[in-house]
Amino acid sequence: MKKERSLAGRLLQYGALTLFVHLAACSDGAPTPPPPANMAQAVEDAEPAADTKLVVAFGDSLYAGYNLDQGKGLAPILEKALNAQRIKARVVNAGVSGDTTAAGLARLSFTLDGLPRRPDLMLVGLGGNDMLRGLSPEETRANLDAILAEAKKRGIPVLLTGMMASPNMGPDYAAAFDPIYPELAKAYGATLYPFMLDGVIGKRALLLPDGIHPNDEGVTIIVGKLAPLVAGALKP
């Protein structure tokens, strides 16, 4: 019970914080987080050795390393974690801050076509901005479905990192939004990491001042949970 209350408390805090971000995002004067300027260069420099796995982290700000120093985001930390497990891997940062699932779908082919070869694994982490903006869960599902369908068409295995609706969005929204990730993962045979911010959300010491995005330590926590799944997905 204590663990359940603790999780409930963190989710309520998540709700309050995401409500603030949602209101800010809907404000006419609110700036949109810029995409990382080095993403195209990262893709161009991604050619790995023949015995090195190519992994693409395709998502939003949680993948892009929002407001973190270079080398501190998800992609480089995950790459180090895999190499520490003696898995030779090159993890490409294809995250763009502010991306919705629609924006991700629009740039998917461009991103994949720009790689030197077909990746061994694609991490997909989109939908959080859809939720923050109150976009239709049906639209989110359709876009993610199209992304996974394209990956399947190209023969690219997928690891899907899920998101949960903030409590302030209401039970009806959550009932439509939360099942998207497990249901699509099952439909496409994708590996599922149920909640991208698991173990981090609600813990101020692991978050940037906005209370949503992980700081250096938060990224390390996420990678510690995510890396074993990535390693498993990369095995023949």
pLDDT (mean) for 217-229: 97
43 near 111, Cβ under 8 Å?
yes
> At what angle are helices 101-113 and 137-153 packed, to 10 degrees?
10
Phi-psi region of 201 (alpha: psi -120 to 50; beta: other; left: phi over 0): beta
What pLDDT score was predicted for residue 65? 96
Does residue 28 carry a catalytic annotation? no
Catalytic residue among 97, 130, 166, 213: 213
Does residue 210 carry a catalytic annotation? yes
pLDDT in tens, 156-195: 999 999 999 999 999 999 999 999 999 999 999 999 999 9
pLDDT (mean) for 34-46: 46
Residue-number span of the structural domain to which 113 is assigned: 2-234
116 near 50, Cβ under 8 Å?
no
pLDDT in tens, 76-126: 999 999 999 999 999 999 999 999 999 999 999 999 999 999 999 999 999
pTM metric for this prediction: 0.83
Catalytic residue among 6, 45, 172, 210: 210
Here the CATH number for the domain that contains residue 222 is: 3.40.50.1110
Q: Which of 16-25, 54-63, 95-104, 146-155 has the lowest mean pLDDT?
A: 16-25
> Percent of the chain at pLDDT above 90?
78
Catalytic residue among 61, 97, 99, 178: 61
How many domains does the chain fold into?
1
What pLDDT score was predicted for residue 49? 80
Q: How far apart are CA 62 and CA 131, in angstroms?
A: 14
Q: Any idea of the CA torsion for 167, 171, 177, 181, to the nearest 10 degrees?
A: 80
pLDDT in tens, 128-143: 999 999 999 999 999 9
Does residue 22 carry a catalytic annotation? no
